[in-house]
């Protein structure tokens, strides 16, 4: 199995049709690629994992199914065990150990990408590149805002990754800004 973006994109779009879920996958892919570059890892592989991490979510959104159903599909299609484990490891409810940097990073960027998207969409201009870290941190304290986002996961995952929360937020914002047009976060006129 070749780890190519085209393969990941085909898998994602085969199972996911919801525009918001596709944009989330693109945001996570961008953050994963950026961290891979920063850490001297393989951006193709890390981006691949980011793009497919939730490919089964639209059809199997429950903790009983996601991402286990997706992992089974990946296994049937011959994906490498380390890719499958990385995808499974982002699900907190599976209680899998995250040892490798790719696993820690996926867990650290997944919820944060969604939160940054939500924080951008409520700002005038809707431009992720102009989203201040302070605004994200303020929204994190507001329990009514994006209430489905697990704040503890965001804090704990940044610590497990060994990065300062402010730096982590700024880094993910910058990664998402690179693909802002594809995320619908390039700003409104």
Q: What is the pLDDT of residues 151-160, one digit of tens each?
A: 999 999 999 9
Q: pLDDT value at position 189?
A: 57
CA distance 54 to 189: 31
Residue 100 lies in a domain: yes
Residue 187 lies in a domain: no
Write out the residue range of the structural domain in which residue 51 sits: 5-182
Residue 152 lies in a domain: yes
Res 128 pLDDT > 80: yes
Residue 188 lies in a domain: no
CA distance 176 to 102: 18
The domain tally of the chain equals 1
Residue 189 lies in a domain: no
Q: What is the mean pLDDT of residues 128-141?
A: 97
Residue 11 lies in a domain: yes
Q: What is the mean pLDDT of residues 34-48?
A: 97
CA distance 101 to 111: 17
Q: pLDDT value at position 188?
A: 74
CATH number of 81's domain = 1.10.3210
Q: pLDDT value at position 28?
A: 98
Residue 165 lies in a domain: yes
């Amino acid at each position: 199995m070749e780890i190519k973006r085209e393969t990941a994109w085909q898998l994602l779009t085969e199972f996911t049709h919801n525009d918001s879920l596709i944009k989330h996958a693109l945001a996570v892919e961008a953050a994963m690629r950026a961290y891979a570059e920063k850490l001297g890892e393989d951006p193709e592989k890390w981006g691949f994992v980011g793009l497919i991490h939730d490919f089964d979510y639209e059809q199997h959104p429950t903790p009983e199914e996601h991402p286990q159903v997706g992992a089974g599909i990946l296994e049937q299609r011959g994906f490498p065990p380390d890719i499958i484990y990385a995808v499974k490891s982002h699900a907190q409810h599976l209680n899998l150990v995250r040892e490798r940097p790719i696993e820690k990073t996926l867990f650290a960027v997944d919820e944060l990408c969604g939160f940054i998207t939500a924080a951008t969409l409520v700002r005038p201009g809707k431009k992720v590149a102009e989203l201040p870290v302070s605004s994200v941190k303020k929204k994190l304290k507001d329990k009514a805002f994006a209430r489905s986002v697990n704040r503890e996961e965001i804090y704990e995952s940044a610590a497990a990754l060994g990065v300062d929360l402010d730096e982590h937020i700024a880094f993910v914002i910058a990664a998402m800004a690179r693909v802002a047009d594809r995320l619908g976060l390039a700003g409104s006129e």
